[in-house]
Amino acid sequence: MRPIKIENGEVWVLDQRLLPTREKWTKISSAEDAYNAIKTMVVRGAPLIGVVAAYGLALTAKKVKDVSEYIKIGEWLKTARPTAINLMWAVDRVLNSSKDEVNFVKAWEEASKIFNEELENAKKIGENGEPLFKDGDTVLTHCNAGALATVDYGTALAPLRVAKEKGKKIKVFATETRPVMQGARLTTYELAKDGFDVTLIADTAVGLTMMKGYINKVIVGADRVLKDGTTINKIGTFQVATLAKRFNIPFYVALPSSTLDLKSKVEDVVIEERPSEEIFYIKGKRIAPRGIKAFNPAFDITPPELITAIITEKGVYYPPFNFT
């Protein structure tokens, strides 16, 4: 299941806000289209937003000839969302593909390279992570780190897909992932399409589900992973990891190297805060009283001591993490 199509030089993305009820494709023709699609979460998931930004900027290289204006557009595109490092990384790769000129051919080639690398990375993450999962496992995942968050296969879901291909029976529990519901809307959708046995639970049910012994492994994706393994991922990940530790359940994180940020310190990472409306309203209907405040962070921080292993396209890393 691919959330992005490249056809005759055109870039089309699946509008993830409408899933699972509608499959609507939207065309990306410029950096501005990419910015809007990323900011409004038409596309989401760290690897996918990097790829969409790369193509959007490349398409702008067709129209803009002035280098400083082009760089300015690239820098602006990086601000569409602040947390997933893939966005900044992909824009920089396209900007650096041609020095002192705006070169559409080179920019497009670089964007395509990023696309193909992410496709390969996802497959390799699947192969590297697969041996960690046994026939009969029931695995909990949070948010959507599947095909819809990448170019295909996914990061966290890739090892589960490979395990299934190899004939292992893997059941999945997906958290609904309030407030944007990536788990309820996207993870269950793509896994059910692939024939997985999927159970949806409320985010608040993780503790009891683990206590009852229903889960024996957890795997999640990441928006940014720091040098020491500190993992920044969808809000709620830290709670899931803390509970997994409490119940001695292995907690895995899967990501491509494009999600690694070996330079930043944890205090440098900007945790995106999204509009209050996302938690004040459900399907356009206000559910909270007026006159109150909201705090709506989109991501949280899981310290390395809660992580059993980190899977990338290069292999499986165990603590103390060292990605070099």
Residues known to be catalytic: 223
Nearer Cβ to ligand MRU (67/294): 294
Least distance CB 18 / ligand MRU (angstroms): 14
The CA-atom distances, in angstroms, between 86 and each of 78, 150, 222 are 10, 11, 10
Q: Does 34 bind ligand MRU (CB under 6 A)?
A: no
Q: Does 102 bind ligand MRU (CB under 6 A)?
A: no
Q: Does 231 bind ligand MRU (CB under 6 A)?
A: no
Give every CB contact of residue 8 below 8 A, 6+ residues apart in sequence.
none
Which of 233, 258, 302, 312 lies at the binding interface for ligand MRU (CB under 6 A)?
A: 233
Least distance CB 23 / ligand MRU (angstroms): 18
Nearer Cβ to ligand MRU (92/278): 278
Q: Does 185 bind ligand MRU (CB under 6 A)?
A: no
Which of 143, 170, 184, 253 lies at the binding interface for ligand MRU (CB under 6 A)?
A: 143
Which of 4, 31, 47, 179 lies at the binding interface for ligand MRU (CB under 6 A)?
A: 47
Give the whole-angstrom CA distance, residue 21 versus residue 3: 15
Binding mask 55-94 for ligand MRU (x = CB under 6 A): -----------------------------x----------
Give the whole-angstrom CA distance, residue 313 versus residue 198: 26
Q: Does 38 bind ligand MRU (CB under 6 A)?
A: no
The count of residues interacting with ligand MRU (CB under 6 A) is: 17
Which of 110, 223, 261, 313 lies at the binding interface for ligand MRU (CB under 6 A)?
A: 223
SS3 49: helix
Best CA proximity match to 307, nearest among 296, 297, 320, 298: 320
Binding mask 151-180 for ligand MRU (x = CB under 6 A): ----x-------------------------
SS3 4: strand
Least distance CB 97 / ligand MRU (angstroms): 24
The CA-atom distances, in angstroms, between 50 and each of 56, 85, 87, 117, 257 are 10, 8, 4, 12, 12
CA dihedral 26, 29, 31, 34 (to 10 degrees): 10
Which of 191, 234, 238, 251 lies at the binding interface for ligand MRU (CB under 6 A)?
A: 234
The runs of H, that is alpha helices, within the chain are 31-39, 46-60, 67-77, 85-95, 104-129, 157-165, 182, 188-193, 206-211, 237-246, 277-280
Q: Which of residues 240-279 bind ligand MRU (CB under 6 A)?
A: none
- In the block, tokens 């496709």 appear at 119
Give the whole-angstrom CA distance, residue 98 versus residue 79: 21
Nearer Cβ to ligand MRU (33/190): 190
The CA-atom distances, in angstroms, between 103 and each of 10, 32, 66, 252 are 17, 18, 11, 41
Least distance CB 3 / ligand MRU (angstroms): 11
Which of 30, 150, 308, 312 lies at the binding interface for ligand MRU (CB under 6 A)?
A: 150
Give the whole-angstrom CA distance, residue 159 versus residue 62: 38
Residues that bind ligand MRU (CB under 6 A): 44-47, 84, 143, 145, 149-150, 155, 182, 221-223, 233-234, 298
